[in-house]
Structure formats: structure tokens, C-alpha cells
Amino acid sequence: MKIEQKKEVFDASRLKVGIVVSRFNNEITEKLLESALATLKDHKVNERNIKIVSVSGSVEVPFALQILAKSKKFDCLVALGAVIKGETDHYTYVCKMAQEGVLRVMLDYSIPVGFGILMTDTQAQAEARMESGGSAASAALELALIKI
């Protein structure tokens, strides 16, 4: 059995979307946000149905997602951030906390969360993936439509 790939733009105009974006590595995260917003626009999500919350870093993203999920005002959420490996183990812990926190919000609150937190070895790798904010937004919208 072949799995169908959905690549078409679908109408998500009735959905309410919460976005949490990290300010750390903002030259990357601003582009992730732009990409996510462009995708939401392509899918006809009304600007007034989008709430953007800015947090200091990727570790803080899950907490803000949890606050949005608890409000029950959103059909889906999008997590955006950029963690770039440095010379210490800090990278490993930040990645683990961000990934596990996002997963926990998604499962504990039964709300789709598009995962757009980049975890790369280099700045160049992150820059090459700045458009993935759109992929995270699209994934969240698709799951929200399955849930409805």
C-alpha cells in the first residue's frame, strides 16, 4: 500500500494557530517565523486567528506552548527555534528539553504542534533550513484538520 503525500495547499481559514518563537539565534528564528506566516497565509489562515508569542530560548518554548494549549483557544500550535551546537554539552540538554517538552504538550493536551526547532551542528546548516518554519506550520494545520 502506497502512502499518499499531501503537498497541495488546503483551506485552513477556520483554524486558530498559536506560534511560539525563540529569540535566541534570532537571525534564524525570524526567518523561520516569516516562513511559517507565509505558509499560514497560503492556507488562508486569517491574521486575526494567529497569535505569536516570543520567548528567550528553545528551552522556554514548551512552557509557552503549554500556556497556549491550556487556553483551548487554538486548533494547533507551531514551535520555532534554533539550537546550534557549540563547544559544550549544553547543546545536547537544550535539544532534549525542547524536543521532549514540545512532545509532552502535544500529547498531554491532544493538540497538534508543528515542530520547527532546528537543531544543527553549524550556523550554515541552520541557515539552509530557515524555510522549515513553513513545513512546521503546514504539518500543524494538516493535523488540526484531521482532528476536527
Position 51 pLDDT exceeds 80: yes
Mean of the pLDDT values across residues 50-77? Answer: 98
CATH number at residue 131: 3.40.50.960
Task: Find the domain containing 44 and state its range.
Answer: 17-147
Residue 41 falls inside a structural domain:
yes
Residue 8 falls inside a structural domain:
no
Name the more confident of 90 and 134: 134
Using one digit for the tens of pLDDT, what is the confidence trace for 87-122? 888 999 999 999 999 999 999 999 999 999 999 999
Statement: the pTM of the whole predicted model exceeds 0.85: yes
The total of structural domains in the chain comes to 1
Residue 97 falls inside a structural domain:
yes
Distance between CA atoms of 144 and 40, rounded to whole angstroms?
13
Could you tell me which of 18, 20, 58 has the C-alpha nearest to residue 141? 18
Mean of the pLDDT values across residues 53-64? Answer: 98
Residues assigned a catalytic role: 90
Q: How many C-beta atoms lie closer than 10 Å to residue 11's C-beta?
A: 11
Residue 98 falls inside a structural domain:
yes
The confidence band for 134, taking pLDDT boundaries of 50, 70 and 90, is very high
Residue 10 falls inside a structural domain:
no
Using one digit for the tens of pLDDT, what is the confidence trace for 12-32? 999 999 999 999 999 999 999
Residue 105 falls inside a structural domain:
yes
Residue 12 falls inside a structural domain:
no
Residue 118 falls inside a structural domain:
yes
How remote is the C-alpha of 70 from its chain's centroid? Answer: 17
